[in-house]
């Protein structure tokens, strides 16, 4: 048994608690009911669209071995890990992204799973970022991935799913766009410009920040990765170049030619889905994560007010890298933070308040047992029902019913109990009628 704490210790602790700042940690959110309603609306919509595309849901552990991320996620995310040594001496980390867990889970059972594998998940993720607009230290992220497909049609399917998710929230072509490119294209161009293969990961990380940092900063980082100054300036100047122009300028590289051909097919197929107007080729889009090998894409607010809403791409080597078979894969992650900001900005948050169906008023404590019978019979029929725990005055109970948005108030007094009846008031019209309890229950399914 633990020794009892002395009065002095208890007093010290109470003072300590009072002095402690009791708000949540920076970058972590409390979800009060209205915030929770929005989060649930977002997750419900994510699930609905993912299922419409034939994806099934999975989940994994929030804590993983540190090595899972240090091996493949890339420097930026590794620098943001919540990592520690657990009590068994294991090096562990809270998951900062879902893709390594997904790759690990699929790799472990790949042989027995019919292809293509189409899974989605809605994990809470943790990154020690500087909290700012659109970026927190925890967020929920829809992950939707396909394994076992190299087809352009699967590239289109994943991008179309991301677009349709946002359309389901009421966002349209005027609200957001998909920017896409291909990692092999930009690496082919960089190699043509004289960048060594070893400098490519650093060059990708620098280019990924081109829209947030000054061009001087990007040029310096590119130089550190072995990109000659002239070549780096050339890459940054490629901003608005289209596929044709790139074919003309870098047609000598088979990597460039192949990826341009694939991008052309991607464009044609995306047009066929009717979603072509949402997407724009942007050669400078590379994405920050290290594992992408082909198509890369991001969804951005067209008014330029927010950080990226969604990002993804093809990662054909990751499964093998985590010990599985060599299977191609692709997918995306879409966070709830920027999405919620965007929905608020465009006035697209619907009324999510959940009103009561019925409030059962009992005139005095004597009718409480009858009121309880009615309350539970109605709940048994699936209705949302509440009553007053303290048998307060009828006017007070009506006020509570009104505040809770009850559709009906059902009144039980001594007379009603005697006759096996109740009085039902429809709150919207004020209409009242006296009915038998059997009729009330028959009407309430
Ligand atoms: P990511 O670009 O790091 O990709 O994140 C995807 C999305 O998650 C971002 O576009 C953003 O909406 C949201 N997000 C990321 N970090 C934060 C943060 N600190 N606070 C709020 N929201 C955030 C990945 O995570 C890849 N694993 C996605 C993927 C899946 N690629 C293939 N499959």
Is there a domain that residue 311 lies in? yes
Q: How many Å apart are CA 245 and CA 241, to the nearest integer?
A: 6
Q: What is the mean pLDDT of residues 367-387?
A: 97
Question: Are residue 363 and residue 340 in the same domain, yes or no?
Answer: no
Q: How many Å apart are CA 242 and CA 225, to the nearest integer?
A: 26
Going from the Cα of 332 to the center of ligand 1, the distance in angstroms, rounded, reads 8
| Token pair of 291 as six digits | 């594992």
Using CB distances shorter than 6 Å, the residues near ligand 1 are 97-99, 127, 129, 135-136, 139, 141, 143, 145, 289, 308-313, 331-335, 337-338
Residue 84, pLDDT > 70, answer: yes
Residue 201, pLDDT score? 81
The answer, yes or no, to whether the previous bond of 131 is cis (omega within 30 of 0) is: no
Count other Cβ atoms within 10 Å, centred on residue 233: 13
Per-residue pLDDT reduced to its tens digit, 346-364: 999 999 988 999 999 999 9
- The domain boundary, picked from 305, 321, 345, lies at 345
Question: Are residue 132 and residue 255 in the same domain, yes or no?
Answer: yes
Ligand 1 mutation pick, 311, 312, 332, max ligand atoms within 8 A of CB: 311
| 183: exposed, middle or buried (Cβ count in 10 Å: 0-12, 13-18, 19+) | buried
Residue 115, pLDDT score? 96
Q: What is the mean pLDDT of residues 314-329?
A: 94
| 185: exposed, middle or buried (Cβ count in 10 Å: 0-12, 13-18, 19+) | buried
Going from the Cα of 125 to the center of ligand 1, the distance in angstroms, rounded, reads 9
Residue 326, pLDDT > 90, answer: yes
Per-residue pLDDT reduced to its tens digit, 128-147: 999 999 999 999 999 999 99
Is there a domain that residue 20 lies in? no
| Token pair of 252 as six digits | 């000598």
Is there a domain that residue 23 lies in? no
Which is more confident, 28 or 189?
28
- What confidence tier does 10 reach under pLDDT thresholds 50, 70, 90? low
The CATH number for 423's domain is 3.40.50.800
Which of 51-55, 103-107, 207-211, 245-249 shows the lowest per-residue confidence on average (mean pLDDT)?
Answer: 207-211
Is there a domain that residue 26 lies in? no
Residue 194, pLDDT > 50, answer: yes
Which of 9-13, 26-30, 158-162 shows the lowest per-residue confidence on average (mean pLDDT)?
Answer: 9-13
| Token pair of 336 as six digits | 């709830």
Question: Are residue 364 and residue 341 in the same domain, yes or no?
Answer: no
Q: Which residues form the domain of 408?
A: 358-442
Residue 58, pLDDT score? 98
Residue with the nearest Cα to atom 1 of ligand 1?
311
- The domain boundary, picked from 295, 313, 345, lies at 345
Residue 4, pLDDT > 70, answer: no
Residue with the nearest Cα to atom 25 of ligand 1?
97
| Total number of residues shown for the chain | 445
Q: What is the mean pLDDT of residues 428-441?
A: 96
Question: Are residue 426 and residue 299 in the same domain, yes or no?
Answer: no
- What confidence tier does 152 reach under pLDDT thresholds 50, 70, 90? very high
Question: Are residue 133 and residue 264 in the same domain, yes or no?
Answer: yes
The CATH number for 100's domain is 3.30.930.10
Q: How many Å apart are CA 91 and CA 71, to the nearest integer?
A: 13
Question: Are residue 119 and residue 215 in the same domain, yes or no?
Answer: yes
Question: Are residue 101 and residue 124 in the same domain, yes or no?
Answer: yes
Residue 1, pLDDT score? 46
Beta bridge partners of 145: 119, 331
Q: What is the mean pLDDT of residues 401-427?
A: 97
Question: Is 325:117 a contact under the CB 8 Å cutoff?
Answer: no
Residue 374, pLDDT > 80, answer: yes
Is there a domain that residue 240 lies in? yes
Q: What is the mean pLDDT of residues 183-194?
A: 89
Question: Is 366:415 a contact under the CB 8 Å cutoff?
Answer: no
Provide the number of structural domains found in the chain. 2
Question: Are residue 315 and residue 376 in the same domain, yes or no?
Answer: no
Mean pLDDT, the chain, as a whole number? 92
Comparing CA positions, the residue from 103, 84, 76, 41 lying closest to residue 327 is 103
Is there a domain that residue 13 lies in? no
- The domain boundary, picked from 324, 345, 366, lies at 345
Question: Are residue 340 and residue 362 in the same domain, yes or no?
Answer: no
- According to DSSP, the β-strands at 358-362 and 385-387 are parallel
Rounded to a whole number, what is the distance in angstroms from the first to the last CA of the chain? Answer: 54
Q: How many Å apart are CA 386 and CA 355, to the nearest integer?
A: 11
Residue 19, pLDDT > 60, answer: no
Question: Are residue 116 and residue 141 in the same domain, yes or no?
Answer: yes
Is there a domain that residue 22 lies in? no
Question: Is 313:185 a contact under the CB 8 Å cutoff?
Answer: no
| Token pair of 266 as six digits | 């991607």
Going from the Cα of 312 to the center of ligand 1, the distance in angstroms, rounded, reads 8
Question: Are residue 209 and residue 332 in the same domain, yes or no?
Answer: yes
Residue 196, pLDDT > 90, answer: no
Going from the Cα of 287 to the center of ligand 1, the distance in angstroms, rounded, reads 10
Residue 160, pLDDT > 80, answer: yes
Q: How many Å apart are CA 239 and CA 256, to the nearest integer?
A: 16
Question: Are residue 212 and residue 146 in the same domain, yes or no?
Answer: yes
Using the atom order of ligand 1, give the atom closest to the CA of residue 339.
12
Is there a domain that residue 12 lies in? no
């Amino acid at each position: 048994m633990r020794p009892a704490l002395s009065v002095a210790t208890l007093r010290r602790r109470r003072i300590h608690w009072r002095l402690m700042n009791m708000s949540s940690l920076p970058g972590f959110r409390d979800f009060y009911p209205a915030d929770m309603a929005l989060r649930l609306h977002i997750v419900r919509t994510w699930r609905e669209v993912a299922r419409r595309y034939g994806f099934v849901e999975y989940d994994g552990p929030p804590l993983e071995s540190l090595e899972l991320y240090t091996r493949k996620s890339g420097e930026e995310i590794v620098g943001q890990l919540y990592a520690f040594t657990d009590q068994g001496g294991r090096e562990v980390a809270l998951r900062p992204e879902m893709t390594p867990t997904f790759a690990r889970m699929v790799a472990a059972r790949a042989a027995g799973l019919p292809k293509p594998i189409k899974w989605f998940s809605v994990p809470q993720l943790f990154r020690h970022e500087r909290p700012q607009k659109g970026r927190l230290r925890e967020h929920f992220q829809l992950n939707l991935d396909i394994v076992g497909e190299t087809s352009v049609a699967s590239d289109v399917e994943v991008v179309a799913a991301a677009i349709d998710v946002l359309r389901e929230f009421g966002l349209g072509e005027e609200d957001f766009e998909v920017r896409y490119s291909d990692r092999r294209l930009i690496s082919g161009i960089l190699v043509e410009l004289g960048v060594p293969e070893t400098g490519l990961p650093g060059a990708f990380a620098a280019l990924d920040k081109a829209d947030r940092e000054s061009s001087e900063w990007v040029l310096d980082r590119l130089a550190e990765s072995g990109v000659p100054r002239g070549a780096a300036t050339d890459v940054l100047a490629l901003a608005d170049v289209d596929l044709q122009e790139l074919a003309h300028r870098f047609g000598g590289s088979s990597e460039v030619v192949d990826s341009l051909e694939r991008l052309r097919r991607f464009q044609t197929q995306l047009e066929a889905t009717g979603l072509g107007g949402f997407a724009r080729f942007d050669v400078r889009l590379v994405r920050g994560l290290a594992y992408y090998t082909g198509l890369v894409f991001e969804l951005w607010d067209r008014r330029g007010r927010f950080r990226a809403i969604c990002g993804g791409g093809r990662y054909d080597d990751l499964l093998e890298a985590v010990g599985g078979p060599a299977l191609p894969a692709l997918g995306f992650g879409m966070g709830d933070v920027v999405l919620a900001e965007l929905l608020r900005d465009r006035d697209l948050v619907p009324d999510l308040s959940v009103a009561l169906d019925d409030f059962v008023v009992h005139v005095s404590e004597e009718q409480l047992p009858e009121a309880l019978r009615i309350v539970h019979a109605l709940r048994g029929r699936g209705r949302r029902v509440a009553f007053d725990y303290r048998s307060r005055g009828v006017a007070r109970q009506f006020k509570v019913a009104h505040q809770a948005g009850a559709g009906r108030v059902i009144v039980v007094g001594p007379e009603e109990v005697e006759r096996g009846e109740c009085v039902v008031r429809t709150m919207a019209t004020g209409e009242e009628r006296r009915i038998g309890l059997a009729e009330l229950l028959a009407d309430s399914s």
